């Protein structure tokens, strides 16, 4: 399937989605978000895909929602038309593992999109920020919520109130990204991580992701109970039998994803 604003590539059980609006530093418009929703729908339905990488260009992961498309919106346009709402959360609801590989600018909606992924690998040249305040608005796709959970109140407040960008090293220090890699190694590292994830049992990676995400939605005791129930359920899977048998027999596991 060819898309106007995305490039896609599948190798084995890993799919790579590249945001591709270079003329606008991958600014996120309705068409791009619709296409991203469509491709994620198709990867979620495809049993052969077990991990997805979302990336941009070396210059920009995404410089935010498309300001040129937003500037003339009225309140009624935005509210009644459900402006960029229906197609904005698909990465966050995607059930399989999804890794953001971020180089260059990840600003506004771009930073929010990266935060919807399961973890972020950042290139040395990556810059993260929520500059919406400089445009007379505030973050609208989780910037005040996910960023605060990831980096804490003080840094999230400073970023949202001043628009200050943080570089990759600071982003790693404050827990926004899992690690920083050389810019020219970003995709190599992302593919390696994605292949590793895809080599595990798919239902088990999906449940693990669900359990980590529950930490952001529940109390500790409810979250631990949710984890325990999922953990117990894993003894019903063929892959638990295979994984543990493989360990005992000193051989690599051959998961069947069931
Ligand atoms: N939108 C549209 N075009 C953009 C853009 C953007 N966000 N960012 C860059 N571009 C375009 C520039 O206009 C320019 O196009 P031409 O003028 O050549 O036609 C081209 O990309 C190259 O940009 P620059 O010439 O500015 O490049 P520089 O290297 O000088 O600067 C920059 C790069 C990233 C620092 C600068 O472009 C910049 O500050 N961009 C805007 C960053 C920003 O403010 N982002 C936040 C946007 S607001 C919601 C969901 C999401 C959102 C809201 C609600 N709901 C679900 C309700 C999100 C809102 C936002 O993200």
Question: Tokens at residue 144, please?
Answer: 């005040």
- Strands (DSSP E) contained in the chain are 6-11, 14-19, 51-55, 60-62, 98-102, 105-107, 119-123, 127-129, 166-167, 179-181
Residues 102 and 126: beta-carbon distance below 8 Å: yes
Between the CA of 6 and the centroid of ligand 1 the distance, in Å, is: 18
Q: Residue 175 pLDDT > 90, yes or no?
A: yes
pLDDT per residue over 77-127, tens digit each? 888 888 877 789 999 999 999 999 999 999 999 999 999 999 999 999 999
**C-alpha 5 – ligand 1 centre gap (Å):** 16
Q: Which atom of ligand 1 is nearest to the CA of 163?
A: 44
Let me know: does 30 contact 88? Beta carbons within 8 Å.
no
pLDDT tens for 123-174 read 999 999 999 999 999 999 999 999 999 999 999 999 999 999 999 999 999 9
Contact 100, 121 (CB under 8 A): yes
Catalytic residue among 13, 27, 63, 65: 65
Report the helix count and the strand count for the chain, using DSSP H and E: 12, 10
Question: Tens digits of per-residue pLDDT, 5-52?
Answer: 999 999 999 999 999 999 999 999 999 999 999 999 999 999 999 999
pTM over 0.95: yes
């Amino acid at each position: 399937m060819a898309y106007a604003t995305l490039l896609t590539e599948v190798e084995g059980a890993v799919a790579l989605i590249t945001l591709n609006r270079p003329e606008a530093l991958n600014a996120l418009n309705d068409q791009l978000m619709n296409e991203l929703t469509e491709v994620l729908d198709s990867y979620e339905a495809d049993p052969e895909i077990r991990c997805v990488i979302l990336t941009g260009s070396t210059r920009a992961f995404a410089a935010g929602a498309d300001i040129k498309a937003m500037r003339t919106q009225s309140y009624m346009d935005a509210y009644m038309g459900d402006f960029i709402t229906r197609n904005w959360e698909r990465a966050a609801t995607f059930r399989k593992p999804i890794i953001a590989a971020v180089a260059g600018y990840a600003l506004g909606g771009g930073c929010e999109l990266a935060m919807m992924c399961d973890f972020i690998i950042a290139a040395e040249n990556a810059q993260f920020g929520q500059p919406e305040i400089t445009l007379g608005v505030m973050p609208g796709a989780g910037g005040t919520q996910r960023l605060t959970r990831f980096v804490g109140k003080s840094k999230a407040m400073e970023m949202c109130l001043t628009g200050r960008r943080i570089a990759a090293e600071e982003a790693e220090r404050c827990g926004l990204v899992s690690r920083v890699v050389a810019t020219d190694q970003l995709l190599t590292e992302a593919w390696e991580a994605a292949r590793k994830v895809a080599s595990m049992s798919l239902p088990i990676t999906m449940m693990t992701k669900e359990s980590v995400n529950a930490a952001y939605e529940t109390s500790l005791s409810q979250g631990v109970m949710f984890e325990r129930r999922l953990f117990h359920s894993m003894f019903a899977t063929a892959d638990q039998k295979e994984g543990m048998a493989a360990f005992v027999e000193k051989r690599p596991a051959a998961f069947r994803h069931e």
